[in-house]
Amino acid sequence: MTINSALFDRVSALLKTQVGPEVYASWFGRLKLHSMSKSVVRLSVPTTFLKSWINNRYLDLITSLFQQEDPDILKVEILVRSATRGARPGIETDAAAPGLPLQGEAQPAPAQPRRATSQPASLGQHASAILPGSAAQIPPRPAPAGSPSGPLFGSPLDTRYTFDSFVEGSSNRVALAAARTIADAGASAVRFNPLFVHSTVGLGKTHLLQAIANAAISGPRHSRVVYLTAEYFMWRFATAIRDNDALSLKETLRNIDLLIIDDMQFLQGKSIQHEFCHLLNMLLDSAKQVVVAADRAPWELESLDPRVRSRLQGGVAIEMEGPDFDMRMEILTRRLEVARQEDPSLDIAPEILTHVARSITASGRELEGAFNQLLFRRSFEPNLSIERVDELLGHLVNAGEPRRVRIEDIQRVVAKHYNVSRQELVSNRRTRVIVKPRQIAMYLAKALTPRSFPEIGRRFGGRDHTTVLHAVRKIEELIAGDSKLSHEIELLKRLINE
């Protein structure tokens, strides 16, 4: 083994530890060392898609790992294998890669590089399946692919995600009702087609989508369901194209009853979006149900092909908001009940749970993290006080604070700073002295609150969401080239958060 090969092997091992074996196998299993100079490492992959994917998501990580092993390395480049035939023999060998599985075959887990490997429970986390301690201790229970109880193919379904285990409240009741209607009525529920569910992270979108899939599969119609993350869709189509299997894949998708796509904001690449647009048109024109989820509304998915965005906007978009106090109490109460199944002696005082529910307001994931902290600390601090709980959970409380900023607070602070009135900010006046503060206020509303562009527009005199989008982009451009304005924005953020 050469020195260069040994270095590559060490970095590969570190990378596998960082991203996990499943993600590593999915995205880096065919990454090869091409060549090395004193300061540049060149790696190769078999497809342009993989090159783009790794460059966009993992290049900084890979570079830092090489620099950790050899500080002289300044740059890492990713090449496509077809363009590297002059490489030294023995460095690049690429075994034939099998295509992605279809019905009944075992599937590699889809990569989710933007999500944590171990995620705390969302609002819809299935309480009866969570044991005390970290959620990472619980192996997922995917429904078998290609069976009557599993999806046709795609990302694995977790059978813990059901409608019964979903914590319902005022912030998600409409989305839940629409989801139940689709699961029960199948293709006849075209009035919700496509259904687009959006929210910030940790509010139960994935749970809701998988609940639809699980209910549709197990229902009397035994619907043909495909549940995919956007990243899995990209991977599946890329490998189908590579293996000359695209027509077969399209034919399979043509015959499904229900398509569910999660994390739509990650769908990238012109050719992949082109294929998705064709699929979307084909299914909707055939009155097949489509359900999509993302972390923002469809009109805010700027990286999407305009045709895809337009088609998604033609259905019903429903926003899920943060849990109210009653929902947060329900989540914590369910969590405690499950923990007691493992340890009947477990007891957390009701006033502690109430205090946590009042303090942690951002999402179900923060609540799960808070509860896990309490369980851990209770093992050697059995008499936790509310003051001690505040010390332990302070980072979670602080993490949720920006989401509690009100648009009215932003308007008040910005108006005072620029010596205009709040009424002028929301008026139709378009003088320079008003327009810039108004745009800054809109930018801050998007940056400091979870509100969508249409909601922000309504709070600024009933303006269209495109006006808000223009304002946000304008201020972003100005900040990039104007350090004085950048400092001014930071000052306003501090004033708003005080």
3-state SS of 268-328 is CCHHHHHHHHHHHHHHHHCCCEEEEEECCCHHHCCCCCHHHHHHHHCCEEEECCCCCHHHH
- The Cα–Cα gap between 328 and 110 comes to 31
Q: Residue holding tokens 């005390």?
A: 132
369 is in an annotated binding site: no
Tokens, residue 384? 């936790």
Residue 1's pLDDT band (cuts 50, 70, 90): low
> Which residue, among 278, 270, 221, 222, has the nearest Cα to 249 in the 3D structure?
278
Of 55-69, 103-117, 210-224, 286-300, the poorest mean pLDDT is in 103-117
pLDDT-based confidence at 19, cuts 50/70/90?
confident
What are 291-316's pLDDT values in tens digits? 999 988 888 787 788 888 888 988 88
Higher pLDDT, 88 or 443: 443
Residue pair 453/299 in contact (Cβ under 8 Å)? The answer is yes
pLDDT value for 470: 92
Helix and strand element counts for the chain (H, E): 20, 8
- Asked if residue 322 belongs to a known ligand binding site, the reply is no
Residue 196, beta-bridge partner list: 292, 317
The answer to the question of whether 202 is labelled as a binding residue is yes
Supply 263's token pair: 């994390």
3-state secondary structure string, 139-187? CCCECCCCCCCCCCCECCCECCCCCCCCCCCCCCHHHHHHHHHHHHHHH
Domains of the chain: residue spans and CATH: 3-83 (3.30.300.180), 127-319 (3.40.50.300), 325-403 (1.10.8), 405-497 (1.10.1750.10)
Residue 51 counted as an annotated binding residue: no
Chain segment 23-72, per-residue pLDDT in tens = 787 778 888 999 988 789 999 987 776 787 788 778 888 998 998 888 88
Dist CA 347 CA 164 (whole Å): 25
Q: What is the pLDDT of residue 118?
A: 32
Which two three-digit tokens encode residue 276?
């998705």
Q: How far is Cα 136 from Cα 229, in angstroms, rounded to an integer?
A: 20
Q: Any idea which of 98-102, 137-141, 237-241, 422-426 has the lowest mean pLDDT?
A: 98-102
Residue 1 to residue 445: CA distance in whole angstroms: 57
Indicate the pTM of the whole model. Answer: 0.54
Say which DSSP state 379 is in.
T
